[in-house]
């Protein structure tokens, strides 16, 4: 065993093959990122120009803009449920209803809601169920006139996807926004999100996502983000950079070529009739947001209908990122499993010309570079250790290569921060920018290895069939200001 | 790849990184200075406008003083960004002022820089400048340029033609319906809504002769636009146009018709006609929406609902059953559902 291992890692051919594989993989990935920077810059510039002619004020008093249902599932969120619902009720849009789905909570969430909003129980017999879900026990409406747009669905537990489906069934609006009860949504988010649906003529918008920001340690007042602060701890601080990079560079770039395969589960808008047509979210996967978006795209490809998945660069939704390593690992473990499951479900897309770019480019990208990256990184670490052990590594050269790769990574992060600072004014103080840059430069050492560990843990569970659900995501909660 | 080439690569990447750092610093400094400058322009402009509108007879604000003050805060021909900002301020101010002051303000605008900036933009090759120029012209109510703008109503760039169409509405009012429902290119929902809103803001009194002439349009967006106008102005006498489109072959026209109909209560005869059209609609979702309208806007018609209960899709049946159930026809619903089972099935009901 040992001798064969030694023979394997000491072999010049293996060493060369490994070198070439990692090098080519890295070069292709860098090319994607580089193209992403160019596409994202173009998209942001165009978006900024277009927005001058699509001013919200022009239609804000209109009475015929589409109605929207905001669907927020909640499970055992009694600690923050009232604040969260108040926050979601404060969104400014003339025709929206909030459907809060109590997904069989075992705590006193429902009782609190009934008391705070003076809810009245209604019979759920006649609720149509175009998407099958766990049974809805009752629905509740407020007796108070100021909360007429609030509905609480009380159903048996079925998971987040199932709760969203129940909300979609109940909604009567054209568009549905799927979010989480603990998200802080910008007041004008809905009117901005509805814009692509109103302005598109030739293609149908099947999904629209907005930027999501990390707001740990920020101050919330009356459900509204009063003061955005950078997180105090490194883990959420790096996530700020990670989200900026992922949303501003990644999603914006993919959106530019209509290649978005994912609209984030924390904040995504869909036309209700299309979601029903594909039978809603898949309750069997933990990556239900990615899975739905892919299924919607497949539907349109199969029907040969022109469509678009749109992403708005502005941060419209604020969420609390995992505050420490252990919760981060749980989150990334779940994301990795969701990705695995979704790619497996839709494996027929791989290099399938029937689905055009989706089959030929987008799916393979996700497979090789979103799904494959942690595996390649993990294998890379193993190879370095093994080759080092057998004395195959030219250390000065390796250090130089590492420095180059590290600096290239820093360039992409810096580019994302620059684009964000230039176009948005959330982080404009020099101190904040310096902190963001430092977090970006420390990321490869203090954050990324943990991320890879979390992802590999998820894959490990899938390989060995270890059952695991959503996991408990303990949150600290936002700072609530009373003044 | 040897060490020296990697060193060159590292040097290059580091240089890029430094460029980004410098860009960030410049961006932060620029933003800070720019904000200060814009605040100064805004304050100065506010003082000028208030001084001009409510002039002190003892110490009147002269035009020379105004121009000099503006020049001092950076409103110069070469400072295009400052001029653009000033135009934005002028538009914003004009929107909030009514009555004689509105006309006084327009007079002021014609006498201070920027002169002809907006109309010059129209001849630009860039769609962005062109559309922006048109927008500024209609926002500032410079109707003398209508002929110049008119030709852009079918422009290939969506933003240019949109702005030109809005300009037609602002300058021509209801008469713009001579052109709008017959445009060559499709009109987005956003544009339809914006046209309706602008028309309502500027011309709240309907001129039905233009509307009636426009009914001839066969353009789908034209039909939708007209229905939205009827809805916005609550033109009860024109509901016939909406009703006639309820069974239109195009899904979106039907959708708009159903949506617009929700605003109105119809006479008994029209309701009966809608019930006839109800069966022509093939889409169950739209049938459901119309059913909901009929339920809330007409008297209980047992025959109609029983007929639909026996014929409609499963989802619709549930809605009809709910209506019947809530209106005292529980036994009809039970009878209907019992009939779904074969005669020999033993039902487990009390």
Partners of B132 on chain A (C-beta within 8 Å) are: 52
Partners of A407 on chain B (C-beta within 8 Å) are: 10, 13-14, 17
Buried b (16+ CB within 10 A) or exposed e, A140-164: bbbeeeebebbbbbbbeebbbbbbb
B345: enclosing H helix or E strand: none
Question: In chain A, whose CA is at the least distance from the CA of B139?
Answer: A58
Question: In chain B, whose CA is at the least distance from the CA of A67?
Answer: B259
Partners of A422 on chain B (C-beta within 8 Å) are: 23, 27
Is residue B252 in some structural domain?
no
A240: nearest Cα among A231, A253, A248, A249: A231
Report whether A85 contacts A113 (CB < 8 A).
Answer: yes
Instruction: Output the six-digit token pair for B25.
Output: 């610093």
- What confidence score (pLDDT) does residue B350 get? 42
Closest CB to A404 among B13, B231, B259: B13
- What confidence score (pLDDT) does residue A472 get? 62
Closest CB to B20 among A62, A408, A414: A414
Partners of B231 on chain A (C-beta within 8 Å) are: 63-64
- pLDDT at A8 > cutoff 90: no
- What confidence score (pLDDT) does residue B103 get? 81
Helix axes B251-261, B220-232, angle to 10 degrees: 10
CB contact under 8 A, B193 and A197: no
Instruction: Output the six-digit token pair for A104.
Output: 């069989």
Is residue B176 in some structural domain?
yes
pLDDT over 70, % of chain A: 96
CB contact under 8 A, A198 and B190: yes
Residue A401 half-sphere exposure toward CB, CA atoms < 13 A: 14
Low-confidence ranges of chain B (pLDDT < 50): 347, 349-350
CA distance A393 to B67: 73
Is residue B11 in some structural domain?
no
> Domain of A443?
1-55+183-471
Report whether B152 contacts B164 (CB < 8 A).
Answer: yes
- pLDDT at A115 > cutoff 70: yes
- How many domains does chain B contain in total? 2
Show which of residues 27-86 on chain A sit within 8 Å of chain B, judged by CB atoms: 49-50, 52-54, 58-59, 61-65
- pLDDT at A288 > cutoff 80: yes
- What confidence score (pLDDT) does residue A160 get? 93
Partners of B28 on chain A (C-beta within 8 Å) are: 421, 428, 430, 433
- What confidence score (pLDDT) does residue A102 get? 95
Q: How many residue contacts between A and B have a Cβ separation below 8 Å? A: 103
Report whether A323 contacts A476 (CB < 8 A).
Answer: yes
Is residue B238 in some structural domain?
no
Is residue B251 in some structural domain?
no
Express each pLDDT in A210-267 by its tens digit: 999 999 999 888 778 888 999 999 999 999 999 999 999 999 999 999 999 999 999 9
Closest CB to A65 among B162, B193, B318: B193
Phi and psi angles of residue B345, each rounded to the nearest 5 degrees, phi first: -70, 130
Question: In chain A, whose CA is at the least distance from the CA of B196?
Answer: A62
Same domain, B110 and B148: no
Which residues 6+ apart lie within 8 Å of A427 measured at CB? A228, A230, A420, A421, A433, A436
> Domain of B69?
31-115
Instruction: Output the six-digit token pair for A190.
Output: 């809905």
Express each pLDDT in A86-109 by its tens digit: 989 989 888 899 999 999 999 999
Partners of B3 on chain A (C-beta within 8 Å) are: 396-397, 400
Task: Note the pTM of the prediction, 2 decimals.
Answer: 0.89
Question: In chain A, whose CA is at the least distance from the CA of B190?
Answer: A198
Cβ-in-10-Å burial (0-12, 13-18, 19+) of B60 comes to: exposed
CA distance A357 to A450: 33
Closest CB to A403 among B10, B131, B318: B10
Among B203, B233, B263, give the residue marking a domain's end: B233
Buried b (16+ CB within 10 A) or exposed e, B269-295: ebbebbbebbeebeeebbbbbbbebbb
Residue A100: beta bridge partners? A72, A152
Q: What is the Rg, in whole angstroms, of the alpha carbon atoms belonging to chain A?
A: 23
Alpha-helix residue ranges (DSSP H) falling in A268-424 = 272-277, 288-303, 325-345, 356-357, 363-365, 372-389, 395-423
Question: In chain B, whose CA is at the least distance from the CA of A59?
Answer: B194
A424: nearest Cα among A268, A222, A231, A210: A210
- Asked if A395 reaches chain B (Cβ–Cβ under 8 Å), the answer is no
Partners of B135 on chain A (C-beta within 8 Å) are: 52-53
Which residues 6+ apart lie within 8 Å of B34 measured at CB? none
Report whether A429 contacts A227 (CB < 8 A).
Answer: no
Express each pLDDT in A170-211 by its tens digit: 998 989 999 998 889 998 899 899 999 998 888 999 999 999
Is residue A81 in some structural domain?
no
Same domain, B146 and B229: yes
- Asked if B103 reaches chain A (Cβ–Cβ under 8 Å), the answer is no
**Residues A297-314, mean pLDDT to the nearest whole number:** 95
Which 3 state secondary structure label does DSSP give A93?
Answer: coil
In 3-state terms, chain B is what percent helix, strand and coil (to 5)? 75, 0, 25
- What confidence score (pLDDT) does residue A462 get? 95
Cβ-in-10-Å burial (0-12, 13-18, 19+) of A59 comes to: buried
Closest CB to B189 among A198, A414, A418: A198
Which DSSP state fits B174? G
CB contact under 8 A, B6 and A400: yes
Express each pLDDT in A353-392 by its tens digit: 999 999 999 999 999 999 999 999 999 999 999 999 988 8
Partners of B14 on chain A (C-beta within 8 Å) are: 407
Among B69, B97, B115, give the residue marking a domain's end: B115
Instruction: Output the six-digit token pair for A397.
Output: 């050269």
CA distance A335 to A290: 10
- How many domains does chain A contain in total? 1
Which 3 state secondary structure label does DSSP give A4?
Answer: helix
Q: How far is A192 from chain B (nearest CA, A)?
A: 12
- What confidence score (pLDDT) does residue A194 get? 92
pLDDT band at A476 (very low <50, low <70, confident <90, very high): low
CB contact under 8 A, B188 and A199: yes
**CA distances for B142 relative to A139, B2, B57, B339, angstroms:** 55, 67, 29, 71
CA distance A170 to B246: 25
Partners of A49 on chain B (C-beta within 8 Å) are: 128
Among B212, B233, B254, give the residue marking a domain's end: B233
A336: nearest Cα among A454, A170, A244: A454
Closest CB to A53 among B28, B163, B187: B163
Which residues 6+ apart lie within 8 Å of A446 measured at CB? A234, A238
pLDDT over 90, % of chain A: 74
CA distance B122 to A222: 46
Is residue B64 in some structural domain?
yes
Buried b (16+ CB within 10 A) or exposed e, A292-320: bbbbbbbebbeeeeebbbbbbbbbbbbbb
Is residue B50 in some structural domain?
yes
- What confidence score (pLDDT) does residue B341 get? 65
CA distance B174 to A368: 58
Is residue B152 in some structural domain?
yes
- What confidence score (pLDDT) does residue A473 get? 61
- pLDDT at A400 > cutoff 60: yes
Partners of A420 on chain B (C-beta within 8 Å) are: none
């Amino acid at each position: 065993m040992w001798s064969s291992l030694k023979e394997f890692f000491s072999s010049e051919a293996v060493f060369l093959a490994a070198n070439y594989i990692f090098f080519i993989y890295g070069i292709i990935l860098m090319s994607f990122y580089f193209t992403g920077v160019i596409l994202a810059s173009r998209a942001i510039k165009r978006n900024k120009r277009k927005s001058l002619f699509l001013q919200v004020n022009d239609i804000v008093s209109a009475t015929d803009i589409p109605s929207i249902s905001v669907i927020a599932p909640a499970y055992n969120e009694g600690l923050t449920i009232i604040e969260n619902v108040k926050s979601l009720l404060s969104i400014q849009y003339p025709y929206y209803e909030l459907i809060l789905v109590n997904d069989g909570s075992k705590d006193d969430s429902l009782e609190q809601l009934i008391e705070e909003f003076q809810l009245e129980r209604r019979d759920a017999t006649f609720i149509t169920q175009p998407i099958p879900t766990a049974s809805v026990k009752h629905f509740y409406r407020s007796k108070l006139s100021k909360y007429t747009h609030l509905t609480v669905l009380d159903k048996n537990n079925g998971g987040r996807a199932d709760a969203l489906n129940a909300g979609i069934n109940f909604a009567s609006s054209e568009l549905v926004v799927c979010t989480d009860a603990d998200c802080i949504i910008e007041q004008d988010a809905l009117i901005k999100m509805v814009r692509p649906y109103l302005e598109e003529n030739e293609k149908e918008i099947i999904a629209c996502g907005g930027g999501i920001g990390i707001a740990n340690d920020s101050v919330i007042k009356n459900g509204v983000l009063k003061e955005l602060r950078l997180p105090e701890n490194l883990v959420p601080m790096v996530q700020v950079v990670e989200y900026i990079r992922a949303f501003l560079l990644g999603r914006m770039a993919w959106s530019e070529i209509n290649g978005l395969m994912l609209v984030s589960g924390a904040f995504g808008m869909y036309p209700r009739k299309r979601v029903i047509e594909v039978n809603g979210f898949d309750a069997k996967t933990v990556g239900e947001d990615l899975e739905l978006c892919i299924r919607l795209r497949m539907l349109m490809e199969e029907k040969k209908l022109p469509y678009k998945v749109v992403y708005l660069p502005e941060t419209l939704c604020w969420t609390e990122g995992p505050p420490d390593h252990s919760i981060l690992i749980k989150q990334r473990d779940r994301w990795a499993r969701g990705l695995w499951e979704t790619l497996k479900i839709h494996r027929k897309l791989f290099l399938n010309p029937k689905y055009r770019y989706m089959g030929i480019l987008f799916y393979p990208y996700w497979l090789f570079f979103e799904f494959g990256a942690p595996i390649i990184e993990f294998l890379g670490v193993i190879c370095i250790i093994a080759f080092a052990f057998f004395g195959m590594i030219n250390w000065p050269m390796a250090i130089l290569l590492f420095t180059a790769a590290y600096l290239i990574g820093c360039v992409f992060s810096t580019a994302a921060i620059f684009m964000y600072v230039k176009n948005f004014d959330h982080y404009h103080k020099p101190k904040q920018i310096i902190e963001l840059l430092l977090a970006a430069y420390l990321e490869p050492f203090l954050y990324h290895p943990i991320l890879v560990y979390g992802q590999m843990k998820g894959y490990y569970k899938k390989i060995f069939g270890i059952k695991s659900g959503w996991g408990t995501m303990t949150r600290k909660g936002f700072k609530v200001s009373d003044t | 790849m040897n060490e020296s080439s990697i060193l060159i690569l590292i040097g290059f990447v580091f240089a890029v990184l430094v460029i980004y750092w410098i860009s960030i610093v410049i961006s932060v400094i620029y933003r800070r200075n720019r904000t200060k400058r814009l605040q100064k322009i805004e304050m100065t402009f506010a003082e000028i406008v208030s001084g001009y509108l409510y002039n002190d007879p003892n110490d009147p604000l002269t035009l020379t003083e105004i121009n000099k003050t503006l020049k001092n805060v950076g409103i110069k021909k070469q400072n295009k960004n400052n001029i653009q900002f000033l135009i934005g301020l002028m538009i914003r101010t004009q929107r909030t002022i009514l009555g004689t002051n509105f006309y006084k303000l327009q007079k002021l605008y014609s006498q201070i820089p920027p002169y002809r900036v907006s109309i010059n933009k129209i001849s630009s090759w860039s769609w962005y400048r062109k559309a922006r120029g048109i927008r500024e012209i209609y926002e500032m109510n410079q109707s003398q340029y209508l002929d110049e703008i008119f030709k852009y109503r079918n422009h290939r760039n969506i933003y240019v033609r949109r702005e030109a169409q809005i300009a037609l509405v602002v300058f021509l009012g209801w008469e713009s319906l001579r052109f709008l429902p017959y445009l060559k290119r499709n009109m987005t929902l956003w544009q339809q809504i914006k046209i309706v809103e602008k028309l309502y803001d500027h011309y709240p009194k309907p001129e039905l002769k233009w509307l009636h002439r426009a009914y001839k349009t066969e353009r789908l967006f034209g039909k939708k636009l007209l229905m939205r106008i009827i809805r916005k102005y609550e033109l009860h006498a024109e509901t016939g146009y909406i009703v006639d489109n309820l069974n239109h072959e195009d899904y979106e026209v039907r959708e708009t018709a159903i949506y617009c109909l929700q605003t109105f209560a119809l006479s008994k005869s029209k309701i009966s006609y809608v019930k006839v059209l109800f069966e022509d609609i093939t889409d169950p979702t739209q049938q459901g929406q119309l059913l909901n309208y009929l339920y809330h806007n007409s008297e209980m018609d047992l025959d109609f609902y029983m007929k639909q209960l026996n014929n409609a899709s499963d989802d619709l049946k549930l809605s009809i059953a709910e209506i019947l159930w809530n209106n005292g026809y529980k036994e009809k619903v039970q009878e209907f559902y019992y009939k779904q089972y074969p005669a020999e099935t033993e039902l487990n009901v009390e």
